[in-house]
Amino acid sequence: MAVCCLLNASRAALGRWLPVVAGRRGANFGRRLCSRPAGRAPGVSQRTSSPTFGFLFDIDGVLLRGQLVIPAAKKALQKLTDSKGQFCVPVAFVTNAGNCSRDGKAEELSNALGFKISPDWVILSHSPLRLFHTFHNKRILVSGQGPVAQNAKDLGFQHIVTIEDVRKAFPLLDMVDQSRRPKELPPPTTDFPAIEGIVLFGEPVRWETCLQLIIDVLLSNGNPGADLSTVPYPHLPILACNMDLLWMAEAKMPRFGHGTFLLCLESIYKKMTGKELKYEALIGKPSTVTYRYAEHIIKQQMECHGWMSPLRQLYAVGDNPMADIYGANLYNRYLQAQAEVSVTAMVADIQGKERHAPKEDSDVSLSCVPSCQSILVCTGVYSRHGDMPADCNESTVETVFHGHRDFHFDPDLVEASHVVRDVNDAVELVFQKENWERE
Ligand SMILES: [Mg+2]
């Protein structure tokens, strides 16, 4: 089944890139959260009982609509904080936005909501790239807009090449816009080190330039000044963030997102080579990699704040079935599959050691990693005009699949665990389910 393939692919990607979460690099990564003198991040409650659940909040359509704050968001945050405005449960803000910095998004959220939001709690579409250490020492071409090069540097990439760098080094490659063609034949560039990988951060400007130069880099195996011989395949590794085909801005009709750009790139590559463009990893919701990273952030937050109870449940709150709900449900499938593998391995181990092995079976199942429930709110994609659908359950079925090529449609994955009016109702629902009361 297609989704099984995807699950396997996600597992492979996770296996390749995320073991560092628990290892030495993971510890270093968490240091920013844990290094505060008091051992407790500002804005976090000192409540005595520890939460065993955490929230993953989408931002657009859940907390904000463009520049506007959704009123329920302030009510929800009041419920999540104590009388001093300090959070009493772990939260992470998971957005597919990427043409900005984490600090900038945290500041924007803090100003809009009136609560101090730490950058450590904000996960942008590219944030998990921090863990892709294998690429950090490679010479990487980056595509996108906004502070792309700075973001890449902040994530750990050390040798960054921009599209503009390639264009300047090889001015004869960018020929669509006649006004940008060189007036004279430039001298050939001979000192341009080979590009070893590509990171697609988000939708760029001047798509024709980016599409052309990225294809040139792929077909030339990272040497766009070279003569073309045979097409290298597999091609250079590509990491892509944010697969959203469309997004809602102030206009009444949806706008092209990075998923549309990827669709163009994939189509051109296949048309030119007859082969599929392949990704080393796809990051951002609904990717499992992003949810695994978010879980890591939640656990780091709990550990650093002295909340010692194990995390047993994640609640992902979002307005977009194809990104938020699909992603949370897919991650839940991944968790369940991991648990099954774990149980099978442990039972086999027990049976190998003790032929009369016991009732540990039931105990083993308790060691399952947390599950992730999806909560759909009706303040964003499904309620563009501010009205709640008459039957929210009816609205969770997509008739046209806008997901990425590598994420096949499965109706079960866009069916939310819960559908509520807004984020405030989502928090109330979770508190009720968890029997959690504010102190
Ligand atoms: Mg949203």
Report how far ligand 1's centroid is from the alpha carbon of 116 (Å). Answer: 21
Give the bridge partners for 161, in sequence order.
141
Report how far ligand 1's centroid is from the alpha carbon of 379 (Å). Answer: 9
Q: How far apart, in whole angstroms, are the C-alpha atoms of residue 116 and residue 57?
A: 15
Report how far ligand 1's centroid is from the alpha carbon of 236 (Å). Answer: 32
Report how far ligand 1's centroid is from the alpha carbon of 371 (Å). Answer: 21
Report how far ligand 1's centroid is from the alpha carbon of 219 (Å). Answer: 36
Coil, helix or strand at residue 49: coil
Give the number of other CB atoms < 10 A from CB of residue 158: 12
Report how far ligand 1's centroid is from the alpha carbon of 62 (Å). Answer: 6
Report how far ligand 1's centroid is from the alpha carbon of 195 (Å). Answer: 34
Residue 172 contacts residue 186 (beta carbons within 8 Å): yes
Name the amino acid, one letter, at 349: D
Identify the burial level of 17 via C-beta atoms within 10 angstroms of its C-beta, where 0-12 means exposed, 13-18 middle and 19 or more buried: buried
Closest residue by Cα to residue 1 from 313, 333, 384: 333
Coil, helix or strand at residue 226: coil
Residue 226 contacts residue 194 (beta carbons within 8 Å): no
Report how far ligand 1's centroid is from the alpha carbon of 319 (Å). Answer: 5
How much is the pTM? 0.81
Peptide bond into 237 cis (omega under 30): no
Residue 60 contacts residue 95 (beta carbons within 8 Å): yes
Report how far ligand 1's centroid is from the alpha carbon of 110 (Å). Answer: 18
First to last CA, the chain: 47
Report how far ligand 1's centroid is from the alpha carbon of 377 (Å). Answer: 9
| Secondary element (H or E) of residue 317 | strand 313-318
Name the amino acid, one letter, at 124: L
Report how far ligand 1's centroid is from the alpha carbon of 316 (Å). Answer: 11
pLDDT in tens, the chain (439 residues): 333 333 434 445 555 545 444 333 333 344 444 544 344 455 555 556 799 999 999 999 999 988 889 999 999 999 999 888 788 999 999 999 888 889 999 999 999 999 999 999 999 999 999 999 999 999 999 999 999 999 999 999 999 999 999 999 999 999 999 999 998 888 888 899 999 999 999 999 999 999 999 999 999 999 998 887 789 999 999 999 999 988 877 677 888 999 999 999 999 999 999 999 999 999 999 999 999 999 999 999 999 889 999 999 999 999 988 899 999 999 999 999 887 766 566 556 655 554 443 333 333 333 445 799 999 999 987 654 433 444 555 544 445 788 899 998 888 999 999 999 999 999 999 999 999 987 6
Q: How far apart, in whole angstroms, are the C-alpha atoms of residue 255 and residue 438?
A: 41
Report how far ligand 1's centroid is from the alpha carbon of 381 (Å). Answer: 7
Q: Token match 């940008």: residue?
A: 180
Closest residue by Cα to residue 195 from 129, 142, 262, 134: 142
Report how far ligand 1's centroid is from the alpha carbon of 338 (Å). Answer: 28
Residue 204 contacts residue 144 (beta carbons within 8 Å): yes
Q: Token match 């977009």: residue?
A: 320
Residue-by-residue DSSP string for 2-43: HHHHHHHHHHHHHHHHSGGGTSHHHHHHHHHHH-STTSS-TT
Report how far ligand 1's centroid is from the alpha carbon of 366 (Å). Answer: 33
Crossing angle of helices 288-304 and 24-34, rounded to 10°: 60
Coil, helix or strand at residue 68: strand
Q: What are phi and psi of 267, to 5 degrees?
A: -65, -45
Q: How far apart, in whole angstroms, are the C-alpha atoms of residue 378 and residue 387?
A: 8
Report how far ligand 1's centroid is from the alpha carbon of 382 (Å). Answer: 10
Report how far ligand 1's centroid is from the alpha carbon of 5 (Å). Answer: 26
Report how far ligand 1's centroid is from the alpha carbon of 298 (Å). Answer: 20
Give the number of other CB atoms < 10 A from CB of residue 398: 14
